[in-house]
Amino acid sequence: MSKQTKRREALIYHAKPTPGKIKVVPTKKYATQRDLSLAYSPGVAEPCLEIEKDKNNVYKYTTKGNLVAVISNGTAVLGLGNIGPEASKPVMEGKGLLFKIFADIDVFDIEVDTEDVEEFIQTVKNIAPTFGGINLEDIKAPEAFEIERRLKEELDIPVMHDDQHGTAIISAAALLNALELTEKKIQEVKIVVSGAGAAAISCTRLYQAFGAKAENIVMLDSKGVIRKDRSNLTTEKAEFATHRKIDTLEEAMVNADVFIGLSTADIVSPEMLLSMAKDPIVFAMSNPNPEIAYDLAVATRDDIIMATGRSDHPNQVNNVLGFPFIFRGALDVRATKINEEMKMAAVKALAELAKESVPEQVNIAYGETRLAFGRDYIIPKPFDPRLIAEVPPAVAKAAMDSGVAQNPIVNWEKYKEELLDRLGSDNKMIRLLSNRAKMNPKRVVFAEADQLDVLKAAQIAYDEGIAIPILLGRKDTIKILMDEIEFEADVEIIDPKADEEEVRKNKYAEGYWQYRKRKGVTLYSAQKLMRERNYFGAMMVNEGDADAMISGYSRSYPSVVKPIMELIGMAKGATRIATTNVMMTQRGPMFLSDTSINIDPSAEELAKIAQMTARTVRMFGIEPVMAMISFANFGSSISPRASKVKDAVALLHEQEPD
C-alpha cells in the first residue's frame, strides 16, 4: 500500500461515517416521559442530595468511578512534536478508544490550550471532580515531570503520565524476562539508555526499582553521554549523570549488556552491537523507526534479544499492554494514586503472563503457530484476552497492600469474573462448566496429541485443573512438543502402534471383536483397528480407562464419529444422533443443530433433533428458546423442503406444548 493510499484511508477512517472515534452512549432507558423525568428534572435531584450528604456517593450514582480524562496540551504528540491542542485531539480520542476496548473504561478527551505549567495544573485540578482518574498524554519534558508530580500530590484520584510510565512498565517486564533467559542479574548488568526524555527517565527509574545499579547505567541525550562534569543539567538528567570519562554512544556500548533506545532512528551501528557483551538485550523503541533496524540487528548478532515499538516484529513494547489495565485496577479499588508498588505489580504480572502457555486465539490473531516464552516472545501480545484478568487484580492488590485503596476487593475470583464479563471475553456457561470440571477432573483422551494445538489444549486443561489428559500419538513427537511449550506434567502418553502397548491392544481388540463379530468384524481386523487412535481412544472410554475423548482436529468428522458409534453407541431410548455446535456471543451461547450428521432430515426427524438439542441445552443450566430456520419467509415458498420445517414446528408444538 502506497504512502498516499495509507494517508487517504486514515483520513476517511477518521471522517466517515461520523467524524471522530468516540461518543457518549446513554446507559439508562429514555423512551418515555417517565424515563426522562427520572434522568433529569425532577428525579435527578435525589442522587444530587445524596451526594451532597456524602461525596463518596458520587461513585454510586454517577459514572465517575469508570471515567478517565485523557488530557494533553499537544506539546509532544507521538512523532509529530508540538502540534497544539486541536491537532492532538485525534490521538486523544484514539487513547479513549483503547481504554474502552481493552478495559471497558469510559473516557473524555480534554485538550488544554496552554503551555504554562501552573495554568495547566490548575485547569486539571478544576475539572478533576468529574473523573475517577487522570491520564496525562503527550506533554513535553521537563514540564511533564512537574505537572505529574504536582497533580499526584494535590489530587486524590489516580494520575499517570502514560508516555513516561507506560513504556517503563512494559519494557521493564520485557527486561526481567530477557534477563531470565540470558541468566543475567539486573543488579550486575551494564545498561545504556539512549534518550533523556520523560519516557527514558521513567524507564530508568523503574529499572532501578527492580535492582539496577546507578553506577552501571549510562544515559545519553542529543549532546552525548550525560556526565557529572557537564553544566546546566536538569534535575532529572543530573540524577543519571555518570562519572565515566566517555562521550559517545559508541564508547558507551562497549561490553554493555542492555541497550534501551528512546531517542531517534538508525543511531546504532552493527559495529556497536558487536562490541556489546554476550547475549545482548536491545530494546530499540524509537517510533516509527527504531535505533537499529530489526532485521539488521538479528543478522548482526544471533544471540541478541531484540524488542521494538513496532507490531511487525517480535517483542513489541506497546503501551496498550499497560495503561488500560493499570487504570482498571486503580479505579476498581478507588485508589487515591498510582504508586510505585502498583506499577511494579503490573510489571510482574505482565512478565509472568508471558511465561504461560499462549491461547490459540492469540496465535491466530497474530498469524503465529508456536508462540512460547523465549527470545522472540518476552512480553504478551496486546490482544491476549488474559490481560484483563491478570494485570488489574495485581494492580488492585498492590494498591490495597500499599494503603491507597478506598474500596478493597474481598472476593478475588468474583472480581476476575467481573473483569472478564466487561469485555465479553468469557461466558458464564464456560465458567460454570470449568468450575464444575475442577471439582471432579475427568480423564480425557486427546487422540491427536502430536498436533501442537491439541497438545496446547491438553496443557491448558491440565494447568487449569479441569481434566486429566491422556495423550495419544507418537511419544517422541509429543515429548519434543511438550518441551517446546514447557508442558511439564506427569501425564500418560500412549502410542497405540508401539510394541509396549500389545497387551492393552489385544485386550481392546478382543472386546471390540466381541461387540462387532456378528457384523463382519474378525479378530484380526479388530487388532488392526486398535492401532488407530480413534478406535483405541473410543475403547478406552468404553472400557472405563478414560471418561471422554477429544478428536477431529486432523481427521474427518465421519472417521471420528464411526468408532464412537460402533463402540459407545446411542443413549438408551435414542433413535438417531445429531451434532450441536455452540457459538459463544456477547449475548451468551447459541446452540446450532444439526450441523454435521443428518443431511436432509424429515419433519419428524427435525422435531426429534430439536427435542434432543433442548435436552442438551438444559444440561448447561439454560432454558432453551428455539427457532427453526428455512429459506422461506412467512410462507413465501411452497417448496417441500421449506414446508417440512413448518411441519416440524407443528409437531414440536403438539409433542412439547411447553
Same domain (yes/no): 146, 175? no
CA distance 283 to 291: 9
Same domain (yes/no): 546, 634? no
CA distance 133 to 105: 10
Same domain (yes/no): 168, 191? yes
Cα distances (Å, whole numbers) of residue 402 to 37, 334, 349, 408? 43, 13, 17, 12
**157, 192, 220 - which closes a domain:** 157
Does residue 323 lie in a domain region? yes
Of 483, 469, 468, 488, whose CA–CA distance to 370 is shortest? 483
Does residue 474 lie in a domain region? yes
Same domain (yes/no): 621, 549? no
Of 231, 226, 252, 256, whose CA–CA distance to 241 is shortest? 226
Low-confidence ranges of the chain (pLDDT < 70): 1-5, 361, 364-369, 424-428, 431-432, 586, 631-638, 642, 658
Strand-strand pairing, 442-446 and 548-550: parallel
Same domain (yes/no): 206, 282? yes
Does residue 309 lie in a domain region? yes
Q: What is the DSSP letter of 81?
A: B
Residue listed under C-alpha cell 469485555: 423
Provide the total of helices (H) and of strands (E) in the chain, helices listed first: 27, 16
Same domain (yes/no): 241, 375? no
**653 contact partners, CB below 8 Å, separation of at least 6:** none
> Which three cell numbers mark 31?
423512551
Same domain (yes/no): 440, 415? no
CA distance 60 to 48: 11
Containing structural domain, residue 460: 431-567
Are 99 and 323 in contact by the 8 Å Cβ rule? The answer is yes
Does residue 132 lie in a domain region? yes
CA distance 156 to 158: 7
**Residue 463, pLDDT score:** 85
In DSSP terms, 281 is beta-bridged to 258, 305
Q: What is the DSSP letter of 405?
A: B
Does residue 143 lie in a domain region? yes
DSSP 291-360: SS-HHHHHHH-TT-EEEES-TTSSSB--GGGTHHHHHHHHHHTTBS---HHHHHHHHHHHHHHHHSPPPH
Q: Tell me, what CATH number does 239's domain have?
A: 3.40.50.720
**Residue 341, pLDDT score:** 97
Does residue 57 lie in a domain region? no
Same domain (yes/no): 301, 333? no
Dihedral angle computed from the Cα positions of residues 366, 368, 372 and 374, in that order, rounded to the nearest 10 degrees: -90
**SS3 (DSSP) at 72:** strand
**Residue 425, pLDDT score:** 46
> Which three cell numbers mark 59?
461513585
**107, 141, 157 - which closes a domain:** 157
Domain count, the chain: 5
Does residue 45 lie in a domain region? no
**Residue 311, pLDDT score:** 82
**423, 451, 473 - which closes a domain:** 423
What are the φ and ψ backbone dihedral angles of 200, each rounded to 5 degrees?
Answer: -65, -45
CA distance 273 to 465: 45
Q: How much is the pTM? A: 0.73
Dihedral angle computed from the Cα positions of residues 359, 362, 363 and 366, in that order, rounded to the nearest 10 degrees: -170
Instruction: Count CB-CB contacts under 10 A for residue 275.
Output: 16
Same domain (yes/no): 341, 416? yes
AA identity, residue 486: E
Same domain (yes/no): 641, 602? yes
95 catalytically annotated: yes
Residue listed under C-alpha cell 486503580: 330
What are the φ and ψ backbone dihedral angles of 85, each rounded to 5 degrees?
Answer: -65, -45
Instruction: Count CB-CB contacts under 10 A for residue 370.
Output: 15
Q: From the candidates 6, 29, 40, 438, give the one annotated as an active-site residue.
A: 40
In DSSP terms, 219 is beta-bridged to 193
Are 258 and 189 in contact by the 8 Å Cβ rule? The answer is yes
Q: Tell me, what CATH number does 442's domain have?
A: 3.40.50.10950
Q: What angle do CA 472, 478, 481 make, to 5 degrees?
A: 145
**Exposed, middle or buried, 425 (CB in 10 Å: 0-12/13-18/19+)?**
middle
**Residue 504, pLDDT score:** 93
**SS3 (DSSP) at 122:** helix
Same domain (yes/no): 450, 543? yes
Q: Tell me, what CATH number does 74's domain have?
A: 3.40.50.10380
Are 202 and 141 in contact by the 8 Å Cβ rule? The answer is no
Same domain (yes/no): 276, 186? yes
Element (H, E) at 421: helix 412-423
61 catalytically annotated: no
CA distance 506 to 483: 32
> Which three cell numbers mark 598?
443428518
Dihedral angle computed from the Cα positions of residues 540, 543, 548 and 553, in that order, rounded to the nearest 10 degrees: 30
CA distance 292 to 364: 29
Residues in the chain: 658
**Residue 253, pLDDT score:** 97
Of 67, 85, 66, 65, whose CA–CA distance to 75 is shortest? 85
**SS3 (DSSP) at 591:** strand
User: 387-399: string of b/e by CB count within 10 Å (b at 16+)?
Assistant: bbbbbbbbbbbbb
CA distance 71 to 135: 6
Q: From the candidates 21, 95, 237, 505, give the one annotated as an active-site residue.
A: 95
Residue listed under C-alpha cell 496540551: 73
Does residue 21 lie in a domain region? no
CA distance 166 to 317: 9
